[in-house]
A and B are shown apart, each in its own frame.
Chain A
């Protein structure tokens, strides 16, 4: 630091280090996520996992590393004698699916509306901005309760809730990013060269937004997983017999005093997954922040 105090570095050079750091952190944060997703997808295919199904003779068995546990059930069993590890893995698949697809259904319409509002301004912008403000003023739990109590809980309804609660933040961010891009000279240049508005929006503005959208999408994966967990905890998440980490957590909560392992592992998994995903999203945002990027 003392060096920069004596000889202030030129403005174009200072941002280089955060970018490189962001790039390596993007790698190291993605790695465990890819490993987890891979394991959760591949493990059921290997036949190494204990068979799913109830075994009322072996309920609330502790994990293998505790007294009374066996390697037949590495993470123990629940109150119906189902293997926790087997459940944990299949719940993980559903949770990751909900995270990724739930982010996509929010990011897709959010980006489209944000870009339209930012590029076309005028009444389009006014209408969309009012919708964004209205959406952000509604607590998500209220929206979720209203829809789920009306339609019942199912995967499509869950995605509807995730789309409705997630699009507004994305639209707001992409709108302001588009406002900045449309004032850049190359957009004026394209208009002067006679390019159509649709072409400018889809071929030139959207690709310039890609970094921001990817980062937003990553953050949205974390949000979607948390929302689903919260809904499952309230009994409004995925309907049985599907299990997600959130619904495992919910079913384990009244057993905490006798069989804490049922709730602990999915709880830890949600925390770590969302933490990693959020850190990755932040790293991607830094990586793509135009102010921190070397031009």
Chain B
């Protein structure tokens, strides 16, 4: 069976005034349905660039130089090819770092959900929009969907906002969800709840999840596989326990050693 998301030999460069800057260098990565793949690395390691390349949200001066991104067997990104507008929001959903800023502050949650649904589900009725909005918020373990739908983002707590943001990403029933540092702005308790939510979503809906984070411990809790990135390259990739317990690379060992511990 082909992987849901398959990144092969991907190199991405930024064209700057004083020469090219390589953001991604020969990156390989697979995400299967019902699996969570963590991408871990320090700031500037290229993990966010990788996430954004998959959905085609690159800056104007950034190009794919080599390799390709395949989604369910279809090529969506390759040098000179960008078919991500067909999958963005429909086959791929994305969750961002800070939910307090990833929702339009002037629009009620219900309106924002309805907008995404109307865009991607042709001829959807009012009642159906309502039903699916409530359904997706319930999936997010939100106890009073009706109130949340009628609220503006600033009226919700941080954890609730992040659930709404995740809801916005999955309401169109995408096959792949990309979460870019989406727990970083949350406190540890809320973080744990969001991570548990992701686990159940992946198990219930059978989606594939690409989970980008700088938090190695969090990734090891949640992910089935982990890719460690540094300097635009994947330096180590494997099952989560294996990467954590028997790191093969010096970089991963140093990353693990950098985690403060009580002992």
B interface list, Cβ under 8 A from A: 55, 57, 60, 85, 88-90, 93-94, 96-98, 100-107, 115-116, 119-120, 154, 165, 168-169
Contact between B57 and A191, CB atoms less than 8 A apart: yes
Contact between B106 and A208, CB atoms less than 8 A apart: yes
A-B contact sample (14 more), CB < 8 A, given A191-B57, A192-B96? A185-B97, A185-B98, A190-B104, A192-B55, A192-B88, A192-B94, A193-B93, A193-B94, A193-B119, A193-B168, A193-B169, A194-B116, A194-B119, A295-B154
B103: chain A residues within 8 A (beta carbon): 186, 189
Chain A interface category by residue count:
10 to 19
B154: chain A residues within 8 A (beta carbon): 295
Q: Does A8 contact B (CB under 8 A)?
A: no
B93: chain A residues within 8 A (beta carbon): 192-193
Residue of A nearest to B55 (CB): A192
Contact partner of B102 (CB less than 8 A), chosen from A121, A122, A189, is A189
Q: Could you tell me the distance between the alpha carbons of A191 and B85 in the complex, rounded to whole angstroms?
A: 9
Q: Could you tell me the distance between the alpha carbons of A188 and B178 in the complex, rounded to whole angstroms?
A: 13
Q: Could you tell me the distance between the alpha carbons of A184 and B102 in the complex, rounded to whole angstroms?
A: 8
Scoring A residues 188 to 212 as 1 if CB is less than 8 Å from chain B, else 0, what string do you get?
1111111100010001100110000
Contact between B119 and A192, CB atoms less than 8 A apart: no
Least Cβ distance of A42 to chain B in Å? 36
Contact between B165 and A189, CB atoms less than 8 A apart: yes
Contact between A188 and B96, CB atoms less than 8 A apart: yes
Q: Could you tell me the distance between the alpha carbons of A195 and B103 in the complex, rounded to whole angstroms?
A: 13
| A-B pair number, CB within 8 angstroms | 64
Contact between A192 and B57, CB atoms less than 8 A apart: yes
Given contacts A192-B88, A193-B119, contact A207 B57 (CB under 8 A): no
Q: Could you tell me the distance between the alpha carbons of A203 and B165 in the complex, rounded to whole angstroms?
A: 19
Least Cβ distance of A169 to chain B in Å? 25
Q: Could you tell me the distance between the alpha carbons of A204 and B96 in the complex, rounded to whole angstroms?
A: 18
Contact between B88 and A186, CB atoms less than 8 A apart: no
Q: Could you tell me the distance between the alpha carbons of A186 and B107 in the complex, rounded to whole angstroms?
A: 11
9 sampled A-B residue pairs with Cβ under 8 A: A122-B60, A186-B104, A190-B104, A191-B57, A192-B57, A194-B88, A194-B120, A195-B116, A195-B119
Contact between B106 and A189, CB atoms less than 8 A apart: no
Least Cβ distance of A170 to chain B in Å? 21
Given contacts A189-B168, A194-B85, A195-B115, contact A204 B104 (CB under 8 A): yes
Scoring A residues 113 to 133 as 1 if CB is less than 8 Å from chain B, else 0, what string do you get?
000000001100000000000
Least Cβ distance of A214 to chain B in Å? 14
B104: chain A residues within 8 A (beta carbon): 186, 190, 204, 208
Q: Could you tell me the distance between the alpha carbons of A295 and B119 in the complex, rounded to whole angstroms?
A: 29
Residue of A nearest to B98 (CB): A185
Scoring A residues 158 to 177 as 1 if CB is less than 8 Å from chain B, else 0, what string do you get?
00000000000000000000
